[in-house]
A and B are shown apart, each in its own frame.
Chain A
């Protein structure tokens, strides 16, 4: 009781904090319950009755009826709304109707699969039915595997396992595939981008195998809130589906607070470190023994916050009561933490997004986020960790200085007025498609005229036959290679190699402090670069490009480095284009070549050039999709070249950030490059391209949504409090178009964007 009172007090105390920029209250909502569906077996009702459940939430009931009607569904419901019943109940009912029927559950991670197994097993135990449910993952012992294959009515696995173990060995799974009636795909929204594109192909393979064995399963998907759950579902499973979003679960009152740390450097618009602020806020709650979860984006920052919090509260509580939770912890340790959270022994947990997915950790009262988690969907999932069971709860998001966070804090409506994010995948990305065609051919020969779940593939099959990977015989393509293709294809990290950053300041204790994608590493982690990490300066002593490791040492110098990356974009093929006033927007195939050339050392206060050096790194090549926005208005063509350059740089900066929010991707997935004179058009151009070979559909979405994105960009710059541009908005401070310092680049960018929009308005 004491704790509760204290939470209310702390909430009102926080209300008067000047750094709170937005306070949003989500009112409580009563449950909406309907009677059991008519065709539900009595044993299920009895088992539910034992749990004091005497009806279904509206969405659970809709799901049940749709699935038994053989419709594919996607249920979109918030955390703790009983979504597991959306699939467990129909699956059990189907088993009762036909005891031989099988179901396959696909969870994005092993931990979730374990969790689900215990949940469904508990429920089955309460009923008098003979349903065997097993997890099947890398940890499953060999002797159990045989049992699972033969006798598992419900097989719970992850996409990686399906890809590399189940499908390639389908002959050992005959009883599953012959009787497969239901496929459950949980946490659907995680299947986007490269990962999603891979998984969509795994599903194509799954359906192909099912067809071979004569089954035609129904898909049940569940998703966190995204803009296009139905579209994503239909893309992923390649079939029509029904959206179920009539959530009937009750909700407790929730406060959602945006907290922007105070500005500490006015000129550069730099704010107090969000990590420090998070520490302070979390500590105030933890001191009152209020269960709190802290989310932070990187593993490193989790550890930093954890050690701070343990320090802060060491007098009040024992250290074990505050725990870290991230990938890299052993499964047993994770299970223990989850258990302690549920039973209240642990009152504080600091986590990466590892806890964002539906692992059951019971009820927490406070959620503090260190920075915007990267997507609205993640934000809501993390927020859902607080107040799962109808109590009052509070969610506090603390902004970083970076443009994305600042942008979102200017636009709280993004969070509270529906979700603008769209999850994309591109299952016909040629590289991914070919990879999975190989796997599919390994599993089962292709027949002439056969499509890959609707996609024409004959040309690729001919190509693979020419390469002597396949062999054509009597109108069939057979796998003719001694390799096991699935082993060389990873669903998660394909071609996305990262450079590991190793701090060797302390000879006895080298430690990994972070990682970076190879493209960025060329300019930020080259030899002698000054690398900033958590506000600390490091110098790169050696970049081992082959091993993808950068060795850094802590330094204290008064300069930073700025590397010149010669990026060239060649437009290979234009697929679509549209005229926006005097500007032209094109979309198509592009070849990006990047080479780091030299770096400059710039003095911190004055930006004075105090030295330079060469960078010796190989050229990187990327074949992808992208858009080009080129300008040909007189206003711009008459400007001095260096002004045009600055303007394009600023524009690229803004568009990249705004577009990333719209298309729901990480900043590293969608890159922006300005070119004063683009090769293909000879005009000043800003390019945005997918940072993955072959493209994953991001720039395509940007093309389609360009109007909103341009509006967003204008709005973003407009709302920034700086007068002449700052690192948070256009990425550069104090740039002007003339020596009299009258017209700032910020203004030019605004006016050029406005002219596009305006023209658009008049033509419409």
Chain B
């Protein structure tokens, strides 16, 4: 690469900046700290080699990099098409779902991640890198802000807030518990110097990933989800856990190259969030070309059930039953319960029976449900008694009784007693 051309291009920014700075200082009575200015120039030059431009706010500097990755360079074929597809899916649906972006224009979604100087959430933990991806016409625009040094926090957050609009929507990975509260903490320190922190909508994809894959993946860390579900292998990635040390080295040596790896890491993180949002949405809506496991269907069904989208839940349970394999028993049971609630008792009964037949050990809860149906709907006390007794037998076989299974045992015992009494009459 031609470094000279690069440097020449940067030069303009440096001079521009210097100019700004000088006018600023010239307003003041006191002379500026000369040494610091010189040092800043050197540092700015080094940052420009990594693609970061300086911005001045009050007497502080902040560095920022912004560039657009064309859709075809995002490592996922048809990303643009898929994004529009996802957008349409939400637009058409009237589900009140945590992942929904129905009201949000595509270019207002901010796929967002930060790097910090520690994992604690206290006042001494600083954010030194904020990165986010936006969908623009030509592709995905990636913006990264760097905290030049701890005394430049106002400029850092100011530049970031300048870029934000009230109707922006955050998409993050664990941002609800970590990144955003941390942004709030940092904002508190400079709240008199920078604009107010707007209250954004926020979609946390970690919650979604946990829902879908916690049984399947060893952990739901982004790197693992990327590898298993997005097919991204980071190779020689700098792990996020190195971030604090690398930033301290940078502060000490004033050499931005220490942070090169972590900047790339953050860049990849926000890109992955875009793809992750796409594949999660497509799974919710059974989009074509998406292969899903039975367990995924069951988990999504569960999630829809909790968000009161019963029909969507049923669809996923049915799909899970069709798929077969691990998770089918659960799907039968869940579907049966829903049918029973809808008063389709006989359909429910069929499903409960199926549920019992597919499991290696018959599911106790299903047996109890069958007993209830026999007792209350079919008025067949003997059948109810018979199945309750079987359930009891199975319960006794399972060696360890937890608190919840103890409660079930008591329930079944009560049921048996009651049935006996009824039959005596």
Contact = CB atoms under 8 A, between A and B. Distances in A.
Interface of A: 168-172, 174, 441-445, 468, 471, 473-474, 476, 478-487
B188 A171 contact: yes
B185 A172 contact: yes
A170 B124 CA distance: 10
Contact of A471 (B122, B150, B189): B150
A473 B151 CA distance: 7
Interface string B175-210: 000000000110011000000000000000000000
A169 B122 contact: yes
A478 B186 CA distance: 13
Contact of B123 (A171, A468, A473, A483): A171
Given A171-B189, A484-B122, A468 B150 contact: no
A478 B150 contact: yes
B344 interface: no
B141 to A, nearest CB: 31
7 contacts: A174-B188, A442-B122, A443-B124, A444-B123, A481-B117, A483-B118, A484-B124
Interface in B240-259: 244-245, 248, 251-252
Nearest to A169: B122
Contacts of A443: 122-124
Contacts of B306: none
Nearest to A479: B124
B251 A441 contact: no
Nearest to B59: A474
A473 B117 CA distance: 16
Given A442-B123, A476-B151, A478-B151, A484 B118 contact: yes
A261 B25 CA distance: 84
Contacts of B125: 484
B149 interface: yes
Given A171-B184, A171-B188, A442-B123, A471 B251 contact: yes
Given A168-B123, A169-B123, A482-B245, 13 more contacts: A168-B120, A168-B124, A170-B123, A171-B185, A174-B188, A442-B124, A444-B123, A471-B149, A476-B151, A481-B118, A482-B244, A484-B120, A484-B125
Interface string B73-88: 0000000000000000
Most buried by B among A171, A476, A481, A485: A171
A495 to B, nearest CB: 23
B122, B126, B185, B188 interface centre (most CB from chain A within 10 Å): B122
Most buried by B among A445, A474, A476: A474
A691 to B, nearest CB: 32
Given A171-B185, A441-B124, A471-B251, A482 B118 contact: yes
**The 10 A-B residue pairs with the shortest CB-CB distance in the complex, in nearest-first order:** A442-B124, A482-B244, A484-B120, A478-B150, A168-B122, A482-B118, A171-B188, A479-B124, A171-B185, A474-B151
B121 interface: yes
B119 interface: yes
Contacts of B122: 168-169, 442-443, 484, 486
Contacts of A471: 149-150, 248, 251-252
A442 B123 CA distance: 6
Interface in B371-409: none
Contact of B121 (A169, A479, A483, A487): A169
Contacts of A473: 149-151
Contact of A480 (B117, B123, B185, B189): B117
A471 B121 CA distance: 20
Nearest to A170: B123
B185 to A, nearest CB: 4
Nearest to B182: A171
Contacts of B189: 171
Contacts of B117: 480-482
B215 to A, nearest CB: 25
A476 to B, nearest CB: 6
Nearest to B252: A468
A451 B15 CA distance: 40
A466 B45 CA distance: 27
Contacts of A170: 123
Contacts of B119: 482
Contacts, number: 68
Contacts of B245: 482
B83 to A, nearest CB: 36
Contacts of B36: 474
Nearest to A471: B251
Interface string B133-150: 000000000000000011
Contacts of A479: 124, 126
A26 B205 CA distance: 71
A471 B148 CA distance: 13
B254 to A, nearest CB: 11
Nearest to B248: A480
Interface in B18-72: 36
B203 to A, nearest CB: 21
Nearest to B249: A468
A484 B123 CA distance: 10
A445 B150 contact: yes
Nearest to B60: A474
A210 to B, nearest CB: 14
Contacts of A486: 122
Nearest to A209: B123
Contacts of A476: 150-151
A562 B306 CA distance: 71
A468 B117 CA distance: 13
Nearest to A487: B120
A443 to B, nearest CB: 5
Given A168-B122, A169-B123, A468-B248, A480 B188 contact: no
A479 B248 CA distance: 10
Contacts of A171: 123, 184-185, 188-189
Interface string B334-377: 00000000000000000000000000000000000000000000
A483 B125 CA distance: 9
A170 to B, nearest CB: 6
A169 B121 CA distance: 7
Nearest to A174: B188
A377 B123 CA distance: 39
Contacts of A444: 123
A473 B185 CA distance: 21
Contacts of B244: 481-482
A487 B126 CA distance: 18
B174 to A, nearest CB: 16
Contacts of B188: 171, 174
B318 to A, nearest CB: 36
A480 B251 contact: yes
Nearest to B188: A171
A246 to B, nearest CB: 42
A47 B136 CA distance: 65
A174 B36 CA distance: 34
Contacts of A485: 124
A242 to B, nearest CB: 33
Interface string B93-128: 000000000000000000000000111111111100
B127 to A, nearest CB: 13
B61 to A, nearest CB: 12
B151 A481 contact: no
Contacts of B185: 169, 171-172
B378 to A, nearest CB: 44
Nearest to A442: B124
B179 to A, nearest CB: 15
A481 to B, nearest CB: 7
Nearest to A473: B151
Contacts of A483: 118, 120
Nearest to A483: B118
A481 B244 CA distance: 7
A437 to B, nearest CB: 12
A366 to B, nearest CB: 43
Contacts of B150: 445, 471, 473, 476, 478, 480
B58 to A, nearest CB: 12
